[in-house]
Amino acid sequence: MNRNPYSRYYVPGPSPWPFLVGISANGSAVGLILWLHRSPSYLLMSMMMGCMILSMFSWWRDLIREGDIGLYTRFAIKSFRDGVALFILSEVMFFFSFFWAFFHNALSPSCELGMRWPPPGIRTPNPSSTSLFETGLLISSGLFVTQAHKSIRAKDYDVGPIIGLLVTILCGIVFFLVQVREYYWNSYTISDSVYGSVFYLLTGFHGAHVVVGTIWLLVSLARLWRGEFSSQRHFGLEACIWYWHFVDVVWVTLWCVVYVWFGGWLYMWWFKMWDGNVYSFKYPDAKPSWYAYIQEERVPSWYKVPDRLKI
């Protein structure tokens, strides 16, 4: 592991880990296809997954060792930052596709859904119950992990960052357990119309990201315990914090959109607040809504309020 003194970047030598990870990923894909065709090979799946985990562990071990002996310059660290930023951007696009599918069906429900959203027969979860508790957990975890970062930058390596990371990890574990409990008590499954499909895809993939973020926090805590971070050198932890804040933002958006707004509860609260009278105008004051850009004389006759209903 020697760095060229005339280069800004460290170029590693030949490594077997990329090749082994590629072979493991290909074998895992083959095992998944066999499982989907109802002829699973559990031996192939277990061997390939075990090989992938060991190869990735060894690959990351080499990366940490290269950083510990000072092979990464500030230019290399900048490339790492750019890579993590692009990775998070790809994750944003990943969740954007699911939100697109959700809005496509929620804003214009088809006749197969009864022209209603949520579809008839779907009893959506209460946003002020379990999901609100999960929202509080993730927002609190974001505050604690930010405090851990500030403590490291202030050269406090003993109390502040360790407590902050421990509490954040605990919040992630509790969030995942509460989400599993919510899945167990939900009255619909992933096969119940497009609502169930999009709901479980959104919340399920977010839960998977919470698990990945929690494992990343555990690794960062172990590295902090071993003294591998300093006030000027802790990009591994900083990248983990970026990822965790991304997970927080996705969940808050998901809770506001899926649970509160398009879960039917916002309209129910509004309906109860006005005691059933959710309209603020009388029929004589009624104006065309989505035909507002059309002149009055060009409004279709079927859209106008009948004279017999006017006061």
Residue 128, in any domain of the structure: yes
Task: Looking at the structure, tell me whether residues 171 and 286 fall in a common domain.
Answer: yes
Boundary residue ending a domain (72, 102, 120): 72
Higher pLDDT pick, 114 / 165: 165
Q: Give the residue numbers spanning the domain of 243.
A: 80-310
Task: Looking at the structure, tell me whether residues 155 and 196 fall in a common domain.
Answer: yes
Task: Looking at the structure, tell me whether residues 45 and 184 fall in a common domain.
Answer: no
Task: Looking at the structure, tell me whether residues 21 and 150 fall in a common domain.
Answer: no
Residue 2, in any domain of the structure: no
Task: Looking at the structure, tell me whether residues 68 and 85 fall in a common domain.
Answer: no
Quick: pLDDT tens for 4-20: 555 677 777 788 998 99
pLDDT above 60: residue 172: yes
pLDDT above 70: residue 151: yes
pLDDT above 90: residue 229: no
Task: Looking at the structure, tell me whether residues 121 and 61 fall in a common domain.
Answer: no
Task: Looking at the structure, tell me whether residues 140 and 241 fall in a common domain.
Answer: yes
Mean pLDDT of 192-219: 92
Residue of 139, 8, 138, 147 whose CA lies nearest to 72: 8
d(CA 261, CA 122): 15
DSSP state of 125: P
Which of 108-117, 138-147, 150-159 has the highest mean predicted lDDT (pLDDT)?
138-147
Quick: pLDDT tens for 34-86: 988 888 888 888 999 999 999 988 988 888 888 777 777 778 888 888 999 99
Task: Looking at the structure, tell me whether residues 251 and 143 fall in a common domain.
Answer: yes
Task: Looking at the structure, tell me whether residues 196 and 55 fall in a common domain.
Answer: no
pLDDT band at residue 156, thresholds of 50, 70 and 90? confident
Task: Looking at the structure, tell me whether residues 64 and 183 fall in a common domain.
Answer: no
pLDDT above 70: residue 296: no
* CATH classification at residue 25: 1.10.287.70
d(CA 229, CA 239): 13
Q: Is the pTM of this model over 0.95?
A: no
Do 188 and 123 form a contact (C-beta atoms < 8 A)?
yes
**What integer best gives the mean pLDDT of the chain?**
82
